[in-house]
Amino acid sequence: MVDGSPQRTADDCAFPLSLLRLPDGTVLPEPLAADIRPLADGKRGGFEKIAASLLGVGIDDLRQREQQRKVRLLSIISAGAISIAIVTIALAISAQLAREESELRQAQAERLIGFMLGDLRTRLKAIGRLEVLDAVGNEAMEYFSTVNGDLSREDALARVKALRQIGEVQFEQGQLESALAGFIQSRNFAERLLLLEPTNNEYLFQLSQAEFWVGYVEWKKSQLAAAEKSMQRYMDHSRTLVSRDPGNVDYRLELAYSLSNLGAIARERSQSEMALAYFKQSISSTRPLLDATPDNTHYRLLLSESWSWVGSTMLDLGRIDEAQVAFETSLAEVKVAWNISRDPSHHEEMADLAIFIADTFMNKGQVEQAMTRYNEALTILSTLVKHDPENANWRWARFNVMRMIAEADRPKLFTSNSTKVLRESIAGLEKLVKQYDRPRLLTFNNGLRC
């Protein structure tokens, strides 16, 4: 029944008369019909009643069967979904484990590289066997260039340090181009880290170290303009670190180094007044550190070197008296360091400065005072050679100062004593030349302080 009323007396009775009474007028029972009207069985209920009649089953049985069918269908769908979910989870876990294993192996590889370029390098350097690491730097650079994927910030920071260490090893071996490539990569990685976390002092510190080394190689390659820019960035980063943490001694030392290095570059570019300003700023930065810990020989030597640079720059300007005062101040600091440490390298510094001071006396024509200082240097170097007769640099320096003593005696047209000293110097130098294919000449006050 789709419309009308089931009531036989109603005007809109839905059933035809033939279904209500027989031809002889006998009233028939009310017909059974599937009532699909919205307010009755509806289309779904009507369909179920017709189907039940055709199948010869009760309506409740049919509905139970339908419910069971739905349950079975839902069970199949659920089982399929669970299976898919299990497979997906398994694949995700497998991928995660594979990634974690890859990251673990990568971290282990980079830790091994870090050890080789850190602790192992220090030990090899102490015995003069850095060539053992020749292959490590190249292999490590190749490794870093092929490894892809996102690194944790901790691992990325380790890579920044490892790349810088590679550069340092190659720099010490004179491989400037390879070293520069490592330093530039280290700088680039540090810059990326700093972009992610601009207030992280460790990231900024590592960036400043990379900037220093890039500038140092550029300076060694006589690219002074580029070196100055790199060292300027190094100084700017150091100033920022000091402003963030004024009590951090390492940051304050870096600032002192950066100022001294900029002064050395300015001096080499014949910008003497600018160089003096940088050296004096370095002294001002170092002095408070030494005042706080007077027994710290490292601070004292850093201060001494800055005064030595001041002396050399004063000589460039022809201000000999001021140069002499600066060298004397530098020597006084080294003497204190020597008295504290008894380190032979500090004793050697004393000899160097005695020679600088002697040179200032020679510039003023004060030969006797110069001879006193030359002999002071000779005494120190003789002691060092006696301490280590195999040290070629000390032997070379000793013979070289003997030559200076003989030259200082030229106004007397070489006395018998000066002639004897000169001949001994020549013989010693000739022996060193024969012993070493490329003997390293002793040079003073040459190179950036770092």
CB 354 within 8 A of CB 373: yes
Q: How many CB atoms lie within 10 A of CB 212?
A: 26
List 5's β-bridge partners, or say none: 13
* DSSP percent split of the chain into helix, strand, coil, nearest 5: 75, 0, 20
Consecutive H or E run containing 178: helix 176-196
Rounded CA-CA distance 127/81 in Å is: 67
Rounded CA-CA distance 82/106 in Å is: 35
Walk along the chain (450 residues) and give the pLDDT tens digit of each residue: 788 888 777 878 888 888 888 888 788 887 878 878 877 778 877 787 788 788 878 777 777 787 888 888 888 888 888 888 777 777 777 666 666 665 555 555 555 555 555 555 555 455 445 555 555 555 555 565 555 555 677 777 877 888 888 888 778 778 889 889 989 989 998 999 999 999 999 999 999 999 999 999 999 999 999 999 999 999 999 999 999 999 999 999 999 999 999 999 999 999 999 999 999 999 999 999 999 999 999 999 999 999 999 999 999 999 999 999 999 999 999 999 999 999 988 999 999 999 999 999 998 989 899 999 999 999 999 999 998 888 888 888 998 898 888 888 765 545 566 667 777 777 777 777 776 554 444 333 334 433
- Counting Cβ atoms within 10 Å, is residue 412 exposed (0-12), middle (13-18) or buried (19+)? exposed
In order of their start, the domains of the chain are: 17-90 (no CATH), 105-245 (1.25.40), 343-450 (no CATH)
CB 245 within 8 A of CB 283: no
Q: The pTM is what?
A: 0.64
